[in-house]
Amino acid sequence: MKRVYFATIMKYPPYPISHTARRIIMALLIVSFCVLSPIIVLYTAGYRYDFSTNRILSRGSISVDIDTKDITVFINNKQITQKPPIRLSNLAPNSTYTISIQKDGYHTWQHDVLVKSNQTTYIKDIFLIKKSTPTNITKNTRHISTLSFSPSGEYVLKKIKRKKDNTIIFLLYSITKKEDVRLLIPTTPQTIVSWSPDNDHLLIYEKNKASHITMIAAHDPHTRHLSPTPLNLQEFQWGGVQKNPTLFMRSENDLYYFSENIFTRIALQVEPVWHVDKNQVIWEYNKENSYITKRKNTTKENVFYSQDPITTIVSINKDRIIAKKRQSISIITRPKQNQAAQENTIAAHHTYYNNKKKEWILWSPWELWSVYPNGNTSLLNRTSEPISLVREFDSYGVLLLGSKNTVSVFNPGYYITNNIINIDTIEDMRINRTMEKIYIIGTHNNTYGVFEFSY
C-alpha cells in the first residue's frame, strides 16, 4: 500500500517594513543605546558638555569656612547640617548656588556662587555683623557745634560755642577713658583745627591771620608744640607716621619743616600745588608747562605731564602719582625705558588711604575704585545709593560705606553690600576692631552726637 503525504503551505501577510529597513532600525537602536547611555550616566554623575568651548566639564565644590560660631548655612534654601568648615562636593558645573549664612541677632550673609568645572569655590575671611541700636556716648551735646574723629577713632574733638559770651572752647574726648580734656589754647570763631591723616595729632591755627601754629598729640594733650614765630600759613601737609607731630608748610611762598618746636626752611619759592613724599623729596606742579617737577636743590626736573590743571597732589611713589583735578582724579604712571607715561582719569571726587591693604580708594557718589601701588586701577562697585563716606573695616579689605542715612559693609572679594545701620544723618564714622564697635558722628532722633554700635 502506497503512502501519500500532504504538505500544508501557510501564507503570512506581507510585512509593512522590509527586511533591510528592520536591520537599519536595529542598528540605530544599538547605536543610540551605546551613545545615550554614557551621556545619561555622565550627566547624572555631574558632567556637562560646554558647547562654547567644546569641553566636557566635571563636578565642582564649594568650601565654607567662617570663624563665627553657632551659625546655620543654607544652600539654595536647604539647610546644611554639618558645621564649618563645610565642603559641598559633587555640584553641577556652570550652575549657580545661593549660599546663605545666618545667626540669631546678626545680619544674614548671602551670596550667589558660580560653581566651575573641577574647581573649589572658597567662601572665607567673612564674619557676620551683629544687629544693634545706637547709643549716644557724648556728653553736653546741647552746645556742641562740631565733632570730629581722630584717625584711630580713639578721640573725638568737640567744638563748643557758649551762648553767654560766644566764646569757643575745644574738648578732647577719649572714647576708651570716657572723659573730656579741655584744650587750653586761645580760640576764636576763625580758629581751624585739623587732624593728621596718619596719627592722632592736631593742628590748631588762626585762619586769615598771621599767628602761631600749635600742634598737639591727643595722647598727651597738655604738651603743646608751638611755632617760634607767627606765620601766614598758606598750605600744609602732615609729616607722616611720627611719634611727635611734624608738619610741612608753605608760608610767604617758602616751604618749612616744623618738628618739636624746631622750625626749618627747606625750599624757596615753592609753587602753590606741592607735595613732599616719604623720602622728603619736594614735588611741585608748574602750571606754565603742565609738568609735575621734582626739586633737586635749586633745580627742577620735569617728571609727570598732566593734560589738565592739577589742584592737589594726593600721593607719589616710585611708580605713579595720584592728583586731583577740578572734576576728576588722575593716576599718572612714571615714564619708563621705551615707554611713555600714561594717564588714567577717573570721574571721582574723594580719596581715602586703606592702610591695611596699602591701596588708595577713590569714589564718586556712584562708583568706588581702588588704586594699587603700581598705578593699576580696579572698579570695585557701582551703587544705586550715593556714597558719602568710605572707611576701612577689616584687614581683609572689607570697607565701611556711608550714605545719607545708611551705613553698609562692602566686601570687594564677593561684591556684596549689606546695610547694617540706619541713622538720621551721617557726618563721619570710625571702627574700633579691639572693642568691636562702630562709632558714627551724626544725628539720631533729632539729637546730634557720637553714636556707638556693637558689631
112, 74: one domain: yes
Q: Which residue has the higher pLDDT, 272 or 48?
A: 272
- Among candidate residues 50, 69, 89, the one where a domain is terminated: 50
For residue 442 the three cell numbers come to 551724626
C-alpha cell at 158: 568737640
Which residues contact residue 140 at a Cβ distance below 8 angstroms, ignoring those fewer than 6 apart? 160
More confident residue, 347 or 28: 347
Residue 196, pLDDT above cutoff 80: yes
Is the domain of 123 the same as that of 77? yes
- Higher per-residue pLDDT: 38 or 231: 231
Residues of the chain with pLDDT > 70, as a percent, come to 91
Beta bridge partners of 283: 275, 294
- Model confidence at 242, pLDDT cuts 50, 70, 90, reads confident
Task: Mark whether 30 and 86 lie in a shared domain.
Answer: no
Segment of 121-130, 224-233, 364-373, 391-400 carrying the highest mean pLDDT:
364-373
**What values do phi and psi take at 22, rounded to 5?**
-65, -40
Give tens-digit pLDDT for 382-399: 988 899 999 999 888 899
358: left (phi over 0), alpha (psi -120 to 50) or beta: left
Query: For 426-448, what is the mean pLDDT?
Result: 91
Nearest to 328 by CA among 340, 344, 341: 344
Q: Which residues pair with 431 in a beta bridge?
A: 438
Residue 100: per-residue pLDDT: 92
Longest dimension (CA), the chain: 159
The cell for 304 is: 609727570
Structural domain includes residue 176: no
Question: What CATH number is given to the structural domain containing 87?
Answer: 2.60.40.1120
Contacts of 286 (CB under 8 A, 6+ apart): 271, 292, 293, 300, 302
pLDDT tens figures, 166-175: 778 888 999 9
Q: Is residue 91 part of a domain?
A: yes
Query: Looking at the structure, do residues 45 and 76 belong to the same domain, yes or no?
Result: no
Are both 36 and 94 inside the same structural domain? no
Please report whether residue 11 resides in a domain: no
Q: Which of 12-16, 72-76, 324-328, 377-381 has the lowest mean pLDDT?
A: 12-16
Cα separation, 268 vs 414, in Å, equals 50
Which residue among 129, 147, 179 closes a domain?
A: 129
Q: Is the pLDDT of residue 314 over 90?
A: yes
pLDDT at 52 over 70: no
Beta strand 329-333 with 155-161 is unpaired
Other beta carbons less than 10 A from residue 189's beta carbon: 11
Say whether pLDDT at 59 is over 80.
Answer: no
**Which range is least confidently modeled, 180-189, 195-204, 269-278, 430-439?**
180-189
pLDDT beyond 80 at 208: no
pLDDT of residue 78: 92
Is residue 74 situated within a structural domain? Answer: yes
Q: Do 117 and 76 share a structural domain?
A: yes
Residue 311 lies in a domain: no
Which candidate, 84, 92, 101, places its Cα nearest to that of 43?
A: 92
Give the angle 361-363-364 at the CA atoms, nearest 5°: 175
Spatial separation of the C-alpha atoms in residues 272 and 235, rounded to whole Å:
8
Name residue 75's beta-bridge partners.
78, 99
Alpha-carbon distance of 389 to 379, in angstroms, equals: 17
Pairwise CA distance, residues 386 & 402, whole Å = 9
pLDDT band of 12, cuts 50, 70, 90: low
Q: 159 pLDDT exceeds 80?
A: yes
Residue 428 placed within a domain: no
240-249 burial, b at 16+ Cβ within 10 Å, e below that, comes to eebeebbbbb
Q: What is the pLDDT of residue 201?
A: 92
Q: pLDDT tens digits for 116-158?
A: 878 888 888 788 888 988 889 987 667 788 899 999 899 999 9
C-beta of residue 100 within 8 angstroms of C-beta of residue 110: yes
If one counts the domains in the chain, the total is 2
Decide if 410 contacts 401 (C-beta within 8 A).
yes
Average pLDDT of the residues of the chain: 85
**Would you say 170 and 186 are in contact if contact means Cβ atoms under 8 Å apart?**
no
Out of 101, 129, 157, a domain closes at: 129
State residue 407's pLDDT score: 93
- 72 and 120 in a single domain? The answer is yes
Q: Whole domain around residue 41: which residue ranges?
A: 19-50
Dihedral in degrees, nearest 10, Cα atoms 436, 430, 376, 239: -120
**pLDDT score, position 81:** 86
For residues 224-244, average pLDDT: 83
pLDDT, tens only, 254-299: 999 988 888 899 999 999 999 999 888 999 999 999 999 999 877 8
Query: Residue 179's Cα: distance from chain center in Å?
Result: 32
SS (H, E, C) 106-159: ECCEEEEEEECCCCEEEECCCCCCECCCCEECCCCHHHEEEEEECCCCCEEEEE
Question: Is position 443 within any domain?
Answer: no
Pick the residue with more confidence: 7 or 361? 361
Q: How confident is the model at residue 1 (pLDDT cuts 50, 70, 90)?
A: low
**pLDDT band at residue 428 under the 50/70/90 scheme:** very high
Tell whether 5 is covered by a domain.
Answer: no
**Pairing mode of beta strands 120-123, 60-64:** parallel
In one letter, which amino acid is 103?
Answer: K
> pLDDT for 85-125, tens place per residue?
888 887 878 889 999 999 999 999 998 988 887 888 888 87
Give mean pLDDT, residues 329-345: 84
